[in-house]
Structure 1
Amino acid sequence: MKRLLALLAAALLSTAAHAQDAGPVERWGSKEVTLAGPRDGNPFMDVELSATFRQGERSVVVEGFYDGQGQYKLRFMPDAEGIWEYETHSNRAALDGKRGRFTVAAATAGNHGPVRVQGLHHFSYEDGTPFWQVGTTSYGWTHQPEAVERQTLTTLAAGPFNKVRMLVFPNQDVKHQPPRFPFEGAPPKAWDFSRFNPEFFRHLEQRVGDLRALGIEADVILFHPYDKGYWGFDQMPADVNQRYVRYVVARLASYRNVWWSMANEFDYLTKKQMPEWDRYFQIVQARDPYQHLRSIHNAMVLYDHHKPWVTHVSVQSGAIAEDFERAVLFRDVYSRPVVYDEVKYEGNIDRRWGQLSAQEMVLRFWMGAIAGTYVGHSEIFKDPDDMSWLGKGGTLRGESPPRLAFFRRILSESPPEGLEPIDKWQEYPFAGKPAQYYLGYFGQQRPESWPFALAKPGLEDGMKFRAEIIDTWNMSITPVEGVFEIRKRDNYSFADKNGRRIALPGRPYMALRIVRLP
């Protein structure tokens, strides 16, 4: 009897220790645990907090953070349905040994998990859904007045973009002071770098969450050179930088839509040398339990993207995506997905990097696609109030976004494995899946016809295909009459057995889609 009572008491204690947390969390959602803890001293520096989340034999360790006013938080992104349990670990008794249990439900519609690398050169969500990157850049959109930020979100909700590159630290803005700053203290430089400003980071994560609700990836840029010493966030000591990186990762890693960019134009931050950038990569890699995508953006000097902590290549180049034969080069060098995040911008400013026409902007997306790579957008137009999508968000004024929505639709109808160059050396501007699917683009050429001829990989005599003419600027798709049956023409190609040609309108920016028939 005594033994039975002891076992019953132990069971009750176990149940109490693993209290069921209210409400289920969806798969790839964010489970938040809030604990009351010490306020004395400097909680940002003095208190250590982590938790182990377990399901069966699996365990995931996450780092906690201080959120101000005696509140400590841990966030966890579960990747499997069912019951999970957790236990906290801390150097303070009030935070140590806290246990809980919660249920993870199926992912809701539109939640496909975080984006991962698929194969060598492409992306997909964790559930296997292809991710066709059609990104934009709006550096300082989270540092604007509330009305402007809401306007930006409305623009994004109606737009074609599924990724936004955005800064954590504010830009130097001579006309408007940001509404909040990442550290306690006073602008421009009276900062206490040992104390973060939780209000700043709560606002940032709110906006990352807003993007998540829209199905948009947040490419979070940890450092940038556009402070130019004014606030001093670009010149902090290395130990402050490392503590800042850990804090951002602790707060944001549980958001499934996060990508990490170590810096924008990292080589313009001249006081930071390559080993320091390596160290920041390593910190993110070690502290992010979900291994979100990681890269770094260049100005004049390329980072070595072969390093093991780099998941994909983020490149700035004004000219490389002007044609597919150039765009494929970085892909071949690094054997990783390549995103040309900056290829100049649509706009009319005096700087040469902000003078692309809409046609030139769209052309770069198509050239990047048939090279098996991805391209990024932004725009900057002259404005008396210094408002631009690139710098501050708001509204879009350019003509490229509708064409990029059409482009994204075409990508979504492509093979899920991603577009692979069919013959990347000459003559055949096609990507796709050999002998199955071909997407070709003529750019600024104005052909009036095209001989039906495909590069030979995978082809055999007698295969049959249908074709469509795509006007990428006017956003139309016109089926070509008839069926094309091929036979070998020479050592490099197969052509229509009757020598047929496809009539084209003699305009630039035309594409062809060719699909094999069963």
Structure 2
Amino acid sequence: MKRYETFELTFSGPEPEGSQALADIQAKFSCGDETWNVKGFYDGNGTYKVRFLPQKEGHYTWAVSGVVNASGEEDCTVSETAHGMVQAEGTHFVYQDGTKYLPFGTTIYALAHQSEELIEQTLNTLSTAPFNKVRHCIFPKHYDYNHNEPQFYPFEKDADGKWDVHRPCFAYWAHFEKILNRLGEMGIETDLILFHPYDRWGFSKMSMEENKVYLDYALRRLAAIPYIWWSMANEYDLMFHLSENDWFEIEDTIVKNDPYGHLLSNHNCIKFYDFSRPAITHVCVQTIAFYKAAEWMDRYQKPVVYDEFCYEGDIQHEWGNISAFEMTNRFWKACSVGAYATHGETFFSEDEILWWARGGVLKGESPKRIAFLKDLLYSLPSPVEPWNEPRKLEPGQEEEPVNAAENPFIHLFNSVTDENAECIKMKGDNFNGHCGDDAFLKYFSGHQPSISSINLPENASYRIDVIDVWNMTRETLIEKASGYTDMKLPGKEGIAVLAVKITE
């Protein structure tokens, strides 16, 4: 047994009486004064399994009961490779052992429902790509460019041809877990989509009772795998037969059946989920409102992930034909203020193999530029936080004048409607971030100033670099600066400046 690695017990027993998904097998693991109660699962052919994710080192005892009765003990030692689950810490993420984790995701919705050859090609592509998180689904997907039939489905059918959630397809789950583990071995988290509306098989129209049986079995099998996040749905608000209370019940079912507390959120088409709910660990949004990131981080005190904001590609849909520069630009907008972003790619192909749904090979120009950004952010001393850059004060001036008579713009801003204020924020969006007083980042996005400034702390010295996000260059602009500093810039879009404290 290794800390943060899946521990598995296997037993032989009789076929379950009744539901195969809800087999009567459970286990208790104890270490010192801590105890974890977990459910086991039936894996077909008279085989039962119990999986456990050890959270600490030490001596464990375990006892299995139900259709199988057994007990034993194990010594849990430190793993040389595992960092544990990714968890939310304030408005950022971190592995359980404290290792930094900055999510740079991509989207391959139907990854697990392709031919073995295509899955292997996709995994090979991911092995050299910059992405450390993949959004993909348990259920197959039906949509434009998604017309293939998968090899397996999560359940078997009954005599009437209806999906029977009480009879899992064991070959499907073994195949799916193999993919999860391959990704995990590459350091890639699975942002696992549990429901979605793009369906021709009937999985999206199951009853709430069926949904809960399915979730119970899925979590029995998967909860002990460390590199999983729970995404309740992709575009949950398009599943019109489920009410808000149904989604709250789904959320509660996941929480009650997850002994370890994996990350949990819900993805929208238009209507955002209620991210203030205590069990929701992070904000997951589909939008291009990057100017809202700092506001949401402050409101929810949780990480903000822009998991969908259109895809690099050239298909007919407006969400699937932004340029490589615009994909790169949107990543920088999110990350420069301490939020996070997820890539997707949709280049037309006669064989209907588009990365965003089926994988294959990456064709776009944004991934290497995302890798450049990823390397830069990992090189910083801490995660980025939004930075409200102080304005320049005149000599002897301690604060800005707030008298409306002296500043008519203050009087105007105080009188605008909420709609006006939102438009002002959108027009004047600033993508500025900082790492305490160790580093300051300003991203100019589509603006192209040839002259600008940065207002740094006066009690420290900084080296200022100019970054071209498209050409992936970083050059020193000013060797030593402090306080209010004028800068001469290239006068082109896609420019950032990074000021890093000089340590003596």
Q: Same fold (TM over 0.5)?
A: yes
Letter in 1 for 2:281: T
Q: Which residue of the partner structure matches residue 23 of structure 2?
A: 47
Task: Say whether 1:151 aligns with 2:151.
Answer: no
Kept in 2: contact 1:327–1:367 (CA 8 A): no
Q: Which residue of the partner structure matches residue 14 of structure 1?
A: none
2:42 to 66, 70, 95: 66
Task: Say whether 1:82 aligns with 2:58.
Answer: yes
Structure 2 residue runs without a partner (length 5+): 390-424
Kept in 2: contact 1:188–1:231 (CA 8 A): no
Q: Which residue of the partner structure matches residue 475 of structure 2?
A: 478
Q: Which residue of the partner structure matches residue 318 of structure 2?
A: 352
Q: Matched residues, percent identical? A: 36
Q: Which residue of the partner structure matches residue 375 of structure 2?
A: 409
- Superposed counterparts of 1:153-172, under 5 Å: 153-172=123-142
Instruction: Pick closer, same or farther for the CA change 1:358–1:188 going to 2, 3 Å.
Output: farther
Task: Say whether 1:320 aligns with 2:322.
Answer: no
By how many angstroms is 1:107 displaced? 1.7
Larger displacement relative to structure 2 (174-183 or 138-147): 174-183
Q: What's the TM-score once normalised by structure 2's chain length?
A: 0.88
Instruction: Pick closer, same or farther for the CA change 1:484–1:281 going to 2, 3 Å.
Output: same
Larger displacement relative to structure 2 (166-175 or 242-251): 166-175
Q: Which residue of the partner structure matches residue 505 of structure 1?
A: 490
Letter in 1 for 2:76: V
In 2, Cα distance between equivalents of 1:219 and 1:156: 15
Letter in 1 for 2:388: D
In 2, Cα distance between equivalents of 1:371 and 1:197: 44
> SS of the counterpart of 1:220?
strand
By how many angstroms is 1:148 displaced? 0.6
Kept in 2: contact 1:420–1:433 (CA 8 A): yes
- Superposed counterparts of 1:182-261, under 5 Å: 182-185=154-157, 190-227=162-199, 230-261=200-231
> SS of the counterpart of 2:20?
helix
Letter in 1 for 2:126: L
Q: Which residue of the partner structure matches residue 106 of structure 1?
A: 78
Q: What's the TM-score once normalised by structure 1's chain length?
A: 0.86
Task: Say whether 1:391 aligns with 2:357.
Answer: yes
In 1, Cα distance between equivalents of 2:454 and 2:75: 57
In 1, Cα distance between equivalents of 2:97 and 2:498: 28
By how many angstroms is 1:45 displaced? 5.6
Letter in 2 for 1:153: L
Instruction: Pick closer, same or farther for the CA change 1:337–1:46 going to 2, 3 Å.
Output: closer
Task: Say whether 1:277 aligns with 2:262.
Answer: no
Kept in 2: contact 1:124–1:130 (CA 8 A): yes
Larger displacement relative to structure 2 (181-190 or 299-308): 181-190
Task: Say whether 1:340 aligns with 2:311.
Answer: no
By how many angstroms is 1:100 displaced? 1.6
Q: Which residue of the partner structure matches residue 367 of structure 1?
A: 333
Query: What do residues 311-341 of structure 1 show as CA deviations (whole Å, max 9, x unaligned)?
Result: 1111011x213xxx33333323322111010
Instruction: Pick closer, same or farther for the CA change 1:516–1:46 going to 2, 3 Å.
Output: closer
Letter in 2 for 1:70: G
Q: Which residue of the partner structure matches residue 400 of structure 2?
A: none
Q: Which residue of the partner structure matches residue 8 of structure 1?
A: none
Query: What do residues 8-58 of structure 1 show as CA deviations (whole Å, max 9, x unaligned)?
Result: xxxxxxxxxxxxxxxxx3221010011111115435166311101111111
Larger displacement relative to structure 2 (242-251 or 184-193): 184-193
Task: Say whether 1:449 aligns with 2:451.
Answer: yes
By how many angstroms is 1:427 displaced? 8.3
By how many angstroms is 1:372 displaced? 2.0
By how many angstroms is 1:434 displaced? 4.1
Task: Say whether 1:377 aligns with 2:343.
Answer: yes
By how many angstroms is 1:462 displaced? 4.1
Aligned Cα root-mean-square deviation (Å): 1.9
Query: What do residues 366-422 of structure 1 show as CA deviations (whole Å, max 9, x unaligned)?
Result: 111122211111010111111111110111111000000011001101232x21111
Q: Which residue of the partner structure matches residue 432 of structure 2?
A: 430
- Superposed counterparts of 1:109-128, under 5 Å: 109=81, 111-119=82-90, 121-128=91-98
By how many angstroms is 1:130 displaced? 1.5
Kept in 1: contact 2:21–2:42 (CA 8 A): no
Letter in 2 for 1:136: T
Kept in 2: contact 1:422–1:434 (CA 8 A): no
In 1, Cα distance between equivalents of 2:21 and 2:185: 33
